[in-house]
Amino acid sequence: MFSICGRLIVSFFFALFTSCNTFADEHAKRWLAGDHHIHSWYSVGYDYEQDPPKPERGGDAVYQITTNNIMAKHYGLTWTVVTDHGGPNHSEVNRLWAYPELLTSRKALPDMVQFFGMEINSPGADHASLIIPYSEVERDQLVDLERRFDRRESWPDDRSRNNPSIMLEALNYMSEQEHPPVVIANHPSRSMLITGNYGLYDPAELRAWNDAAPNVAIGMAGAPGHQAAQLVKFARGAYRAQPTLGGFDRMTAILGGFWDSMLAEGRHFWITANSDSHIHYTQGGIDFWPGEYSKTYVYAESNPADILEALRGGRIFVTTGDLISELYVDVSTEQGSAMIGGSLTDNRYPLEVTVRIRLRDPEGNNPYGTDPSVHHVDLIKGSITGFVKDPKTDSHEAMVEKRFNRRHWRRDGELISMAHKLSIEGPTYFRVRGTNTQEKEPKPDPLEENPWEDLWFYSNPVFVR
């Protein structure tokens, strides 16, 4: 406990010392690490002996917003989102308590981008990160959305609010706002009890979200939070029935599974990673600090608008355990090239394509005190076949086109480079993953596993249309 508090104090004064460089080099795009799912003590508990129930700070998560962001900065993050749970009249908690504290945190750490948001109780579904763009009306915008659409906001409880059609109404409403927010589905398979029998999220529902507001409902958490759970002998990610695979949700991790079926439609549907931080595992929780284990990297300028634009545009890769810190995937033909999240148009088939991959395998220890190295990198491809007839579709034929290891790449210090040429017969997407393990496919995570020894990274796709 003392060492954690000591780190907080050191990090805080370091933040103050460096605050004069607010948004330094903000016009240079680079990979910026962040976390879109962080809880503060405004994920409240309630005294239900009172009517309406009285909110009580620290009921579900315990740290102040500033504390979370000091620790996020300490672990290398440059952008964060405060995402507290909703509940009866929680919009007033956000309006009167959380937002003023967020402003205080922004002043203390002005070189960090700190978005206002919440983990909305999605009508007819599970939780989702709701990220509000920076603006003069950001507080009013979040309060309005929470009051209108969070299924637990009303008191007395109104079960009619828990209707999938209300979520589609919410997404349409958001997409038409002057400052459209971003919605990312959290822990999509955590409520899944039986293989093939989806829980609070299912493929048809996520397709409907993306159809309703593709500029808002941009994707899902590929790597859920609560990754420290195994360190206290609990299921990794709190996925008790259907375990994570290498720390990733099965909707992402299964090759030829749900995510591939979405990409085969040519959808802009991206994956992210997050901490879902409530309470650190050394203090009785099952969580890492923001950025301590999982990171979502966006290729953006260091300002709020471009970070959100990068999220919408899929300029994202995710990693655990600081396995890598940069990832470039460039797909080129004679007509041009595209990077992660991008599209390249060329109608001549068969088509000769070159895929170049460059990553940074950083030297030095991660927060666990080890220096993991990349064992192999997979280039995955799948054909783009158009929209499916059955929205419940959760499979598509995808394959590892090329598996790279140290025999196939060139290393220059921290940088690893590799390339592959191939011919494609029609519209195709490419994505990349890698690991420090020898596993050809990520395996289910047992309770006794150390998460620091099972690390993966995933890129979002590049499309050749």
How much is the pLDDT for 335?
87
Residue partners of 179: CB distance under 8 A and separation at least 6: 132, 133, 135, 137, 138, 141
Q: Which residues are 448's β-sheet partners?
A: none
Assign 9 a pLDDT band (cuts: 50, 70, 90).
Answer: very low
Mean pLDDT along residues 294-300: 98
Assign 347 a pLDDT band (cuts: 50, 70, 90).
Answer: confident
Q: pLDDT tens for residues 16-52?
A: 433 333 344 557 999 999 999 999 999 999 999 999 9
Q: The dihedral of CA 286, 289, 291, 293: what is its sign? A: negative
Assign 346 a pLDDT band (cuts: 50, 70, 90).
Answer: confident
Whether cis (ω within 30° of 0) applies to the bond prior to 304 is no
Higher pLDDT, 197 or 9: 197
User: In this structure, what is the dihedral angle of CA atoms 380, 31, 130, 42, given to the nearest 10 degrees?
Assistant: 130
% the chain with pLDDT above 70: 94
DSSP labels, 82-145: EEEEP-TTHHHHIIIIIHHHHHHHHHHSTTSEEEEEEEEE-TTS-EEEEEEPSSTTHHHHHHHH
Interatomic CA distance for residues 225 and 387, integer angstroms = 31
The whole domain housing 302 covers: 2-464
Residue 132 in tokens: 């509000």
Question: Which amino acid appears at position 444 of this protein?
Answer: P
Contact 114/303 with Cβ under 8 angstroms?
A: no
Backbone angles phi, psi at 98, to 5 degrees: -70, -45
pLDDT at position 59 over 70: yes
Q: What is the CATH number of the domain that holds 145?
A: 3.20.20.140
User: In this structure, what is the dihedral angle of CA atoms 447, 248, 30, 401, given to the nearest 10 degrees?
Assistant: 120
pLDDT at position 137 over 70: yes
Contact 328/359 with Cβ under 8 angstroms?
A: yes
Residue 459 in tokens: 């890129």
3-class secondary-structure state, position 282:
helix
How much is the pLDDT for 25?
54
Q: pLDDT tens for residues 215-264?
A: 999 999 999 999 999 999 999 999 999 999 999 999 999 999 999 999 99
Assign 439 a pLDDT band (cuts: 50, 70, 90).
Answer: very high
Q: How many CB atoms lie within 10 A of CB 465?
A: 14
Over the chain, what is the mean pLDDT?
A: 94
pLDDT at position 358 over 50: yes
Q: The dihedral of CA 125, 128, 133, 138: what is its sign? A: positive
pLDDT at position 186 over 90: yes
Element (H, E) at 74: helix 65-74
Contact 27/16 with Cβ under 8 angstroms?
A: no
Whether cis (ω within 30° of 0) applies to the bond prior to 52 is yes
Element (H, E) at 304: helix 304-313
Interatomic CA distance for residues 262 and 254, integer angstroms = 13
Q: pLDDT tens for residues 251-290?
A: 999 999 999 999 999 999 999 999 999 999 999 999 999 9
Residue 349 in tokens: 């088939």
Mean pLDDT along residues 43-72: 97
pTM confidence score = 0.94
Residue 2 in tokens: 């003392």
Mean pLDDT along residues 436-452: 97
Half-sphere exposure in the Cβ direction for 211 (13 Å, CA): 12
Interatomic CA distance for residues 426 and 17, integer angstroms = 54
Element (H, E) at 250: helix 250-253
DSSP labels, 218-242: EEEEEE-S-GGGGGGTS-GGG--SS
- Say how many domains are in the chain: 1
Half-sphere exposure in the Cβ direction for 141 (13 Å, CA): 23
Q: What's the CA angle centered on 330, arms 325 and 336, to 5 degrees?
A: 150
